[in-house]
Structure 1
Amino acid sequence: MAGCALLMAGASAGASETALSGQEIYHLLRGNTASGLWQGTPYKSYFDPGGDTLYMPKSGEPAIGKWRINPDTDLYESWWEHVGWTSYTVVRTGSGHAWVHEGQNHAFTIEQGRQLSW
């Protein structure tokens, strides 16, 4: 997300994962918070229904970006000032969900609502 726009190295995506449709991604993220590890640092990212996203690392500076579902590709896209728009497949895994970019799987879980405090 911030700083890396979901580009950190991770484990490769597995065959048992199911790609979500754009509509499923929208309903999963809209008004909710994703939590995971980003470059080894725990993070939370809230997806405002208006298209903004607030990235909160456990340590470090928060960042504001944008998110959307691309209607032409049915993929999740995030925008950060230093990298612009970047596309990701979102998959359902056995333990939650993952962002998939360039063959790398970045696991996250969803918390209902805006859950940014540590």
Structure 2
Amino acid sequence: MKHLLTTAAIWAATALNAQPVAVQLDADEVTALLTGNTAIGDWDGVPYRQYFGEDGVTLFAQTEARTTRGQWRIDPESDEYQSLWPGDDDWEGWIVMVWMDEYYWLSRSTPPTVFEVVEGQQLVEE
């Protein structure tokens, strides 16, 4: 949590220099953004696509790798997107931030990671 607050403070300080402020999306906004849609970005330098089904199933796909099926949910108390993957015992939480019209994943253990959202299930690049 300290990492999240520090990052948010840095982004807010940037705003004092006439830059837009990074804003954390609330649970309803994250739900509307992700449900039935696909996030696209780079994870550790490798492009990925992740679909968020209305039924709580999420599919994570990377080139030349087997698609992984997990579960996802939104925690309304923390406003976090949470995922559970095969072999994991605990749900992992991420907040979604928007800054200068770009979305970012942010967790307790990772720096902000940019992603975009496309409508529908688009695990294969068209």
Q: 1:25 is matched with which residue: 3, 22, 30?
A: 30
The superposition leaves residues 58-107 of structure 1 with CA deviations (integer Å, 9 ceiling, x where unpaired) of 23121001110112322111111233301111101214201101261011
Question: Following TM superposition, by how much is the alpha carbon of 1:52 offset from its aligned partner in structure 2, in angstroms?
Answer: 0.4
Equivalent residue number for residue 112 of structure 1: 119
From 87, 94, 97, the equivalent of 1:91 is 97
1:61 and 1:38 map into 2 onto residues whose CA distance is 15
Q: Which has the higher helix share?
A: 2
In 2, Cα distance between the equivalents of 1:58 and 1:107? 19
Residue number among 46, 52, 62 corresponding to 1:47 in the alignment: 52
Matched, 1:34 2:39: yes
What amino acid is the match of 2:120?
G
The C-alpha deviation readout for 1:10-60, integer Å capped at 9, x for no partner, is: xx6633311000000000000000000011110000000110000011231
Which of the two has higher C-alpha Rg? 2
Contact 1:41 1:59 (C-alpha < 8 Å) held by counterparts: no
Superposition TM-score, scaled by structure 2 size: 0.78
**If the length of structure 1 is used for normalisation, what is the TM-score?**
0.83
Q: 1:55 is aligned with what amino acid?
A: F
- Unaligned residue ranges in structure 2 (runs of 5+): 1-6, 13-20
Structure number with higher relative contact order (C-alpha < 8 Å, ≥ 6 residues apart): 1
Identical positions, percent: 34
Number of residue pairs the alignment of both structures matches: 107
Q: 2:77 maps to which residue? A: 72
Once superposed, what is the RMSD of the aligned Cα atoms? 1.5
Give unmatched runs, 5+ long, in structure 1.
1-11
